[in-house]
Amino acid sequence: MITSKIERLDDEGRGIAYNEGKVVFIPDTLPKEEVEYEILVDKKNFSEGKLINILQENKNRVLPKCPLYNVCGGCSLMHSNIGFQEDYKSNKIKNILRRYANIDTDVKFVKSNKDLFYRNKVVLKVENNKWGYYQKKSHNLLEIDSCLLVNNNINEVIRNHDYINIIDGEITIRTNYEDKILISITSDKKVNINKNTIPSNVVGIVINKETIYGDNYFYDMISDIKFKVSYNSFFQINNYIAGEIFDILRCNLEGENLLDLYCGVGTLGLSLSKKYKNIYGIEKIRNAIEDAKLNAKENNIENTHFFVGDTGTVLKDIDVSFDTVIIDPPRSGLNDETLQYILESKPKSLAYISCNTITLARDLNKIKEVYNLKKVTGLDMFPNCHDVECVCLLERK
């Protein structure tokens, strides 16, 4: 067993210590803690350790509320209080922007209204009729009967699912503002549903893209807008924080033509419909674009134009001069064609929204040649986990 002091946390929430000059990553630890650990992985330039004992605790350490905390691996920061987590996330944004984009900036931080039960969606693995998550760094299933991060309507489905007989596969459970449940399943094996015992709040079950019960969508609310969400559309998982993002955009942006890149079901663009003459949105999932069109109609928003396809490809066919572009890409960040488009067309302002600060910083490093970073806000979209949502507002130089 080795004893070391934890110097700081890395970007994945793991403690960093040094053993004979080599860096060791030790999960479940906090800065300034004196810990005993064993080495699990030893590589040329770093090691990975397993915490055995804490000799001196950080004052922000708390007892993890989840009984599965040690095996699950989902909540990398649950052993610290929320104030500590918020400071860590705010500093993480600052550090990554400095390291990868050479940008020094202040970061405003927005807290979540809940640190538990905030997720409106969960994706579970199913093996031999057991439902759960994969355990830390493995493909071993950890059977669960609830998860402290997900809304309790979803936990009710996880606990009582006699009406769904699935042997192997993946199951996605969503809930909405009306406590309704939408379930989608993928499986190579036969899935049996007992339609007579499905609870009344389950509005739809989709198996391998086919709707076998009810609908393949439901409606959810963020702030003052109602959204149709199809079973396979991206939708923000923390409704409160999504509403806070709307507020940031509404307080800072307005103009003639707005382009909402990676628009999903139209969420961010629609939130700005009163601030622009025209809203254009691009998204690659066809169902999501159909939902976006309907969302505009149902919220009496008449100034929208939605396009389905890859952003880089669709942009070649849109001959509009945009004053503002919203960028909310997947974790991989901007693709080359889209980045090129922004740098060449030079809209007056940009809002870049991201849950992956490293790809955000990589893209900002190129964007900053043409734009000044005006405001950075971190938002606690994922309490108890190390990821953080970030909204960056930029103005053309």
Give residues in contact with ligand SAM (CB under 6 A).
Answer: 234-236, 262-264, 267-268, 282-285, 288, 310-311, 328-330, 335
Quick one: 68 or 296, whose CB is closer to ligand SAM? 296
Classify the C-alpha dihedral 152-154-155-160 as positive or negative.
positive
Q: Are 273 and 304 in contact (CB under 8 A)?
A: yes
Quick one: 310 or 395, whose CB is closer to ligand SAM? 310
Closest residue to bound ligand SAM by CB: 264
Quick one: 37 or 306, whose CB is closer to ligand SAM? 306
Q: Are 245 and 389 in contact (CB under 8 A)?
A: yes
Smallest separation (angstroms) from ligand SAM to the CB of 196: 36
Smallest separation (angstroms) from ligand SAM to the CB of 19: 38
Calpha distance 81→68 (Å, rounded): 18
Smallest separation (angstroms) from ligand SAM to the CB of 248: 13
Quick one: 128 or 332, whose CB is closer to ligand SAM? 332
Smallest separation (angstroms) from ligand SAM to the CB of 328: 4
Closest CA to 362 of 88, 108, 102: 102
Smallest separation (angstroms) from ligand SAM to the CB of 235: 6
Calpha distance 275→49 (Å, rounded): 52
Smallest separation (angstroms) from ligand SAM to the CB of 2: 40
Structure tokens at 59: 């004052």
Burial environment of residue 189 by CB neighbours within 10 A (0 to 12, 13 to 18, 19 or more): exposed
Quick one: 73 or 330, whose CB is closer to ligand SAM? 330
**DSSP-assigned letter for residue 332:** T
Quick one: 158 or 392, whose CB is closer to ligand SAM? 392
Q: Are 224 and 204 in contact (CB under 8 A)?
A: no
Calpha distance 161→132 (Å, rounded): 13
